[in-house]
Amino acid sequence: MRGKPLIVDVATPQLPVVAEGLPENCPAAIAMNAIAGLRSRKRGAALEQAIREAVFAELAEQGYTGLTIDAVAARAKTGKASIYRRWPNKQDLVLDAFLARLDAESERGTFDNLPESVTTRAALIALGRRIVEFVDAAGEAMRAISCEANRDAKAAGAMKERMHEPTHRAVVALLERGVRRSEVSADVDLDLVAQVLPAMLTHQMLLVGRRVTGADITRIVDGVLIPSLQAKPAAAKTASKPALKATEQPVDKALAKR
């Protein structure tokens, strides 16, 4: 047995070929099988999905700063070369993983054809829950890409085109549906109000680091959005802006004197 070599084909992901007569439970065989087990048996889309899932797992444990290609490769059970062939750097890898997660989210369905029985309030609460669920799953990636977007036009463009604009359009569409149902006042600035729900939720989750519950979403909808969507009293529509009293000063000037 001493003169028989151990043969391992490192070019393929198959299990090693153990020399004849070598027990499968001996240390050498166990080590060889362990090494082979680390090699990926996935190809194409399956391998890319495994890599993306590894990215999110590493982000959850290490954060963006601590994420490394080595760790992603090890978790995905593939080699670094397989990653670098597809993504030139960590930034592109995280961005692609995030965008793939966005695509998967969009496949869950939209709010375009809601049953007539669904009110605007109920639809907004449901949309808020969808936003929270997504941020819960992709929060670290969102935080990292948002930071990168400040200096990377590619990341900024991707966030705008694939996340911010579609989300905004979805909220506006819900509010326009509310106008048609007479649940939302026709004189409301829908473009402005549509920014409130996503902004408040992502602020709490990504910047404050606070866990948002279903009760929180309902409070935002009932306490902030719904009042903003109601018709203004006729007197309020026609009243001009009150002029400053003689003793009043603009706040910025008052602060400048302190």
The tens digit of pLDDT for each residue in 154-165 reads 889 988 998 899
Instruction: Tell me: pLDDT of 10 over 50.
Output: no
Q: Among the listed ranges 9-23, 25-39, 224-238, which one has the minimum average pLDDT value?
A: 9-23
On the question of pLDDT at 258 being above 80, the answer is no
Residue 187 main-chain phi, psi, to 5 deg: -95, 10
**Residue type at 147 in one-letter notation:** C
Residue 16: per-residue pLDDT: 43
Nearest to 69 by CA among 45, 89, 96, 43: 89
Torsion angle in degrees (nearest 10) through CA of 60, 66, 68, 72: -20
CB atoms within 10 A of CB 158: 20
The domains of the chain, with CATH numbers, are 1-39 (no CATH), 42-86 (1.10.10.60), 89-231 (1.10.357.10)
pLDDT of 42 > 70? The answer is no
Alpha-carbon distance 54 to 174, whole Å?
A: 35
Question: Using CA atoms, how far apart are residues 90 and 85, in angstroms rounded to an integer?
Answer: 12
d(CA 76, CA 40): 7
The pLDDT value recorded for residue 24 is: 55
Q: Which residue has the higher pLDDT, 157 or 105?
A: 157
Residue 2 has pLDDT above 60, yes or no: no
Among 18-27, 180-189, 239-248, which stretch is predicted with the lowest mean pLDDT?
A: 18-27
With a cut of 80, say whether residue 41 has pLDDT above it: no
More confidently predicted of 251 and 79: 79
Task: Output the pTM of the full model.
Answer: 0.70
Task: Enumerate the β-bridge partners of residue 7.
Answer: 17
Q: What is the pLDDT of residues 234-246, one digit of tens each?
A: 555 555 555 556 5
pLDDT digits (tens, 9 = 90+) for 122-147: 999 999 999 999 998 888 888 888 88
Of residues 238, 5, 224, 7, the one with CA closest to residue 121? 224
CA atoms of 254 and 258, how far apart (whole Å)? 7
